[in-house]
Structure 1
Amino acid sequence: MKKPNFFHFKKNNQKLDRLLKILKVVLWGDTVAQKITHFYVYLILIGAILLYLPISLEKIPPINAKSKIISEDYFDPIRSSSLFNAKIGGFINLDWIKQLQNNPNRFFKIPNHQNLYLVQDVISRAFKIVEVHDYTFWDAIFTAVSAFSDTGLSTVVIRSTYTVFGQVVILLLIQIGGIGFVVIAFLIWKLFRFRVRDESAFSKSIMLQAERGNSKLGGTADTIVVAVVFILIVEIIYAIFYSFYFNFVPAYEQQTLAASSQANDPLTFLASQITVNSTVPIFVNHSPYAIWAGIFNSISAMNNAGFDILGSGSLSAYRNDIHALFLIIVASEFFIGGIGYPVIFEIYEHIKHKKTMPENSVKLRYSIFAKLTLISSLIITTVGFILINSIELTARNGSVAIIRTIAQAAGENKLSLINNFNANTDQLTHAIYGNHPLFNQVWNNLFISFSTRSAGYSTIANDLYTDQTKTVILIMMFIGASPSSTAGGIRTTTLAVMLIAIWSKLRGYKTVRIFKRTIPKNTVNDAFIITIMMAIWLLISALIASLSIDAEQPDAHLTFIDVLYEFSSAFGTVGLSTGAAALVTSIVPTTLIMMMILMIVGQLGVSTTILAAIRKNPRGNTFVYPYEDIKIG
């Protein structure tokens, strides 16, 4: 009998070990960054599957297929609908409304058009025209990624496409993504006091620090607990406020302005992006749905997600006059969510120290991170507001001047507007910007400056902004908010470190210094690497997507700036959109995947994902090659 070959057996075992190691990396991850990324991917897939189930989707025609609503327009039966006129032209037949009221499915297919339906809202009983398309798994996974990364980009109208169950799934993804899956697992572990080995506890601390933690490993657990408790309390307080506000303060469903079938005309397209109040009260007004809308809005705003269930116009119904207070309160909530867990913890520690310690005790000092975070956030927001406001109020094609242009075109019969709006500029201005146009214009510009920090809420269609304003906004979205927060981007501290490093170099300093401290050289290098690498990635991604859209949809009113704006919004996990996301979804899955990867990288952070994945300890790091200078600049 032949004896087994020991070396052959050992060789097979080595192959099996290598295979198991590869499977471990692929399915579970080897490093901390890989494990966190794997957790995110698995939860996103679970969320996408849930959002693809029939229980998550409203019954939209055709009933036997999965469908989505990509746009909607409310109207009064005696008035016209801009969405209807833009697609077909003419007026809505009142007989259709009678047929709709006799239809148990609440949908009436408009003759001679494949995708348009007349609908009676099940809550408000108001009439609207909706545009329906097929709902695919790409829509489900894109929405899941956007919700879990707290981005807010969407290819559907959330309120009209998803049932309450689907909206709950989205809200859970937002909350888990905002707090952090590892953080939630740690809190459960801490709550039930599971006994684990010291190695496991240490591993959890490292993962917490990578996801949402402090720069100091020892303070990570306390930081997490304090920040999460604070965030949940704030969410409850804001949810109560929103619920009362939605219920008692009047607001109206939005109706788009253009009423022309000249879809290829640029001015008509811009007019079709402007919304005005319809005669229909918004569905949450004097309704129990105000409670659910308040909860949804609070969690979404705190996590800088930008999702809402108010309709296709985001917060457009609340942009003017008495709603100024509402907008600033919303902005305050997503500002809190964007400053980061470590900063929240430090503020808590200072308040606690001030209350418990005697007056002559040693004062606690804020860390360099906290100081840099707060100062850079305020400076970026302020500079952005000044630039946006200056451009939009003075530019010939700004969002203010465009109203005069539209009114003039309507007066010359070059453009048709709904509801008998004519060449009266004042009438049109008041319809769009309320009773105090200048104040509301400035206030909306201030709100969008805060929203670019990663919130994603908007009160004005992003298409109306000039290319100069879009450039300012996309830069602010690229920067994002603070590290270890619910927001994305390269982070405010990254920009601050770069600017300080440039200033130090110009001044001839040998080190990068701030607040009487020296920033490590590796941190400075990482700041430049992160910024340059992500800027190149964004430009290439936007270029590919722009070429794809031009090839497949030549009539789409999207410039390269618009597409770059969309990708910057994805990386900054902001959610402000020019409509490119919906086109990318229906055209090229490859660019859609690129956008989804950007969302995940933006949420987790470049340091936690890309740099951690590609960095390895080089074998030759024990010696240095001879130096040789190279002429640059």
Structure 2
Amino acid sequence: MPARRKVNNIFKNFKKFFLNISNLQIILITYLVVVLLGTCFLLLPISQKPGVNISFIDILFTVASAFSDTGLTTRVTVETWTDFGQAVIAILILIGGIGIFALKVWIINVIFRKSISITSRNILEKERSSSKTSDLKKTIKISVTFLFITILVATFILWLIFYFEKGNFILQEVSDKEGVIKVRDFSQYDPHGNVLLSFKAAVFHSISAINNAGFDILSDASLSPYYSVYSIQIVFIILLVIGGVGFPVIYDVLQYISHKIRKRTDFHFSLFTKISCVSYLLVFLTGLILTFIFELTNSNPMNLWNNNNPELGSKGDRIMCMVFHVFSTRNAGFTTLDTNITTFLDSTLIIFAIMMFIGSAPSSTAGGIRTTTLAIIIVAIWNRIRGINEVRMFRRKISQDNVFSSFIVLAISIFIILLSSLICFTSLDTMWGSASSKELTFADIFYDVCSAFGTTGLSTGLTSSLNTGSKLTLILTMFIGQLGISSTILVWRKNNFKNNYSYIEEDIIIG
């Protein structure tokens, strides 16, 4: 009897837990289950190439990076995973970028033509950070359909480009003192003239680019074999922007085009679209201007602009490289610069890190604090300086709750970045790791941590040298960046009726 009573109590506790579980907790648990399933698939021998010896923590890191649409890797994707393993990664990227519950709603509503339950709608609202539940189903339906159409179109275009364009897959590794020390040959992965290989590359990179994932199956240096091929870079930039602006913006733009075609004038962009697009553009332009200032005016003979290595091409190629990387910091993770040849200045890396920390729009594939959060904080500070106690944008007042939440998100995000950076310092050879303390600076570590938090994927090469504790830290950082600070905090929140009272207010001196 005692044993049966104990079993009954366990079942009652499980039942109580599932009955009281919140929508955010459902999302969190579902995400964890997907990561575990993805890890199980990549553990299979069919996923790994013969002779590959990869640890469980590296597999978990890869799955977390793919599902969070980050792109940071501890192993070279094309050399580690078979076609099946690469397909698993592509699927994780897709469901992580669009959203599990968004995909579920799209499949039920578009393919099977059935309505969704109120519970599913509420969960979707939390997953996509939407406040307009009434338009949510229509937004998902139209936006996800548009994304899939864009993937198909981009796949066809990239298929042609990969097939006809000849990339440089013989990559050099250069030492500042000794010159060329070895050649890395990735010509076996060159899709030029190969119908099947170019098609596979087109499908994988279309999914990876539109979801701002940063994974590639070309080499160990991302898109660097196509450093001088502008057509590929332009296609990628278009996909990165579409994936980074968010579902509400995509929906608004498509509705605007529809109204223009029908010659109707009763359309107005939502406040979210206005703030998101303006802040996205301003962050990009600010980053681009600062990058040009730092890179074009310095006298360092080894940096991108002044380096005499012929692999870096013309001045036009170098400017395009800078432009592409500024776009890539908006959560993309692709690079056209082989860091074994040269890299950007530390000052430029800090600018890139800050841009990755900011991220792109909510309800998108982006991580970071999000552009709308930054916009509210900047306007709030500026208005406070001018003696205005309200935050007003585009003739609308932003609620005090939104303003307060924005500052909370910023504070917690800075704390996470600093803590994660300190933990990653343990990977240096001066502590408990193998990463060279002579080659890696604070800017390199800060850069990779911001990349993880912003789910971007750009790296200075640090991730391959991380110890287990640092890898677990970045996995958690990527997960928080994917789910969002607000959702990460709210998932643990409980209603505490004991605190429904207030004390007498008193001012204190602050900084």
TM-score range, shorter chain: over 0.9
- Residue matched to 1:151: 70
Please list the CA deviations of residues 239-297 of structure 1 after superposition, one character each: whole Å capped at 9, or x if unmatched: 11111001101112032242x6xxxxxx3499779x99x89586201012001101111
SS in 2 for 1:614: coil
Partners of 1:398 and 1:464 within 8 A in 2 = no
Q: Which residue of the other structure, out of 230, 236, 239, is the alignment partner of 1:330?
A: 236
Taking only aligned residues, the RMSD between alpha carbons, in angstroms, comes to 2.7
- Give the 5 Å matches for 1:525-604: 525-549=404-428, 550-551=430-431, 552-553=433-434, 555-556=436-437, 557-584=439-466, 587=467, 589-604=468-483
- Separation in 2, partners of 1:339, 1:554: 36
Q: Relative to 1, partners in 2 of residues 1:279 and 1:506: Cα closer, same or farther, differing over 3 Å?
A: closer
- Separation in 2, partners of 1:347, 1:372: 14
Q: State yes or no: 1:285 paired with 2:192.
A: yes
Q: Which residue of the other structure, out of 598, 605, 612, is the alignment partner of 2:490?
A: 612
- Separation in 2, partners of 1:542, 1:597: 13
- Residue matched to 2:105: 186
Q: State yes or no: 1:40 paired with 2:31.
A: yes
Q: Relative to 1, partners in 2 of residues 1:195 and 1:279: Cα closer, same or farther, differing over 3 Å?
A: closer
Question: Alpha-carbon deviation of 1:17?
Answer: 6.9
- Residue matched to 1:305: 213
Q: Which residue of the other structure, out of 318, 321, 328, is the alignment partner of 1:441?
A: 318
Q: Which residue of the other structure, out of 125, 132, 137, is the alignment partner of 1:216?
A: 132
Number of residue pairs aligned between Structure 1 and Structure 2 = 503
Partners of 2:331 and 2:456 within 8 A in 1 = yes
Q: Taking structure 2 as the reference length, what is the TM-score of the superposition?
A: 0.92
Q: Which residue of the other structure, out of 188, 191, 203, is the alignment partner of 1:295?
A: 203
Partners of 1:392 and 1:399 within 8 A in 2 = no
- Residue matched to 1:243: 159
Q: Relative to 1, partners in 2 of residues 1:544 and 1:623: Cα closer, same or farther, differing over 3 Å?
A: same
Question: Alpha-carbon deviation of 1:42?
Answer: 0.7
SS in 2 for 1:518: strand
- Give the 5 Å matches for 1:423-434: 425=308, 428=309, 431-434=310-313
- Residue matched to 2:148: 232
Question: Alpha-carbon deviation of 1:386?
Answer: 1.0
Partners of 1:388 and 1:445 within 8 A in 2 = yes
Question: Alpha-carbon deviation of 1:482?
Answer: 0.4
Q: Relative to 1, partners in 2 of residues 1:457 and 1:399: Cα closer, same or farther, differing over 3 Å?
A: farther
Question: Alpha-carbon deviation of 1:189?
Answer: 2.7
Tell me which moved more, 303-312 or 592-601: 592-601
Partners of 1:235 and 1:302 within 8 A in 2 = yes
- Residue matched to 2:13: 19
- Give the 5 Å matches for 1:63-142: 67=52, 134-142=53-61
Q: Relative to 1, partners in 2 of residues 1:623 and 1:347: Cα closer, same or farther, differing over 3 Å?
A: same
Please list the CA deviations of residues 565-617 of structure 1 after superposition, one character each: whole Å capped at 9, or x if unmatched: 11110110100011221111xx2x22212211111111121112x22123333
Q: State yes or no: 1:478 paired with 2:469.
A: no
Output the amino acid matched with 1:366.
F
Q: Relative to 1, partners in 2 of residues 1:479 and 1:398: Cα closer, same or farther, differing over 3 Å?
A: farther
SS in 2 for 1:256: strand
Partners of 2:227 and 2:336 within 8 A in 1 = yes
Higher-Rg structure is 1
SS in 1 for 2:497: coil
SS in 2 for 1:483: coil
Q: Relative to 1, partners in 2 of residues 1:43 and 1:631: Cα closer, same or farther, differing over 3 Å?
A: same
SS in 2 for 1:255: strand
Output the amino acid matched with 1:625.
Y
Output the amino acid matched with 2:31.
Y
Please list the CA deviations of residues 332-387 of structure 1 after superposition, one character each: whole Å capped at 9, or x if unmatched: 1111100000111111112222333x55xx52111111001111111101110111
Partners of 1:497 and 1:524 within 8 A in 2 = yes
Q: Relative to 1, partners in 2 of residues 1:510 and 1:138: Cα closer, same or farther, differing over 3 Å?
A: same
- Give the 5 Å matches for 1:458-537: 458-461=335-338, 464-537=343-416
Question: Alpha-carbon deviation of 1:331?
Answer: 0.7
- Separation in 1, partners of 2:130, 2:146: 16
- Residue matched to 1:206: 122
- Residue matched to 1:385: 288
- Separation in 2, partners of 1:324, 1:402: 18
Please list the CA deviations of residues 293-344 of structure 1 after superposition, one character each: whole Å capped at 9, or x if unmatched: 0111111000000111111111111112xx1232122111111100000111
Q: Taking structure 1 as the reference length, what is the TM-score of the superposition?
A: 0.75
- Separation in 2, partners of 1:209, 1:309: 34
Partners of 1:158 and 1:309 within 8 A in 2 = yes
Please list the CA deviations of residues 200-226 of structure 1 after superposition, one character each: whole Å capped at 9, or x if unmatched: x11111111111264211110000010
Question: Alpha-carbon deviation of 1:401?
Answer: 6.5
Output the amino acid matched with 2:410.
T
Partners of 2:304 and 2:318 within 8 A in 1 = no
Partners of 1:393 and 1:399 within 8 A in 2 = no
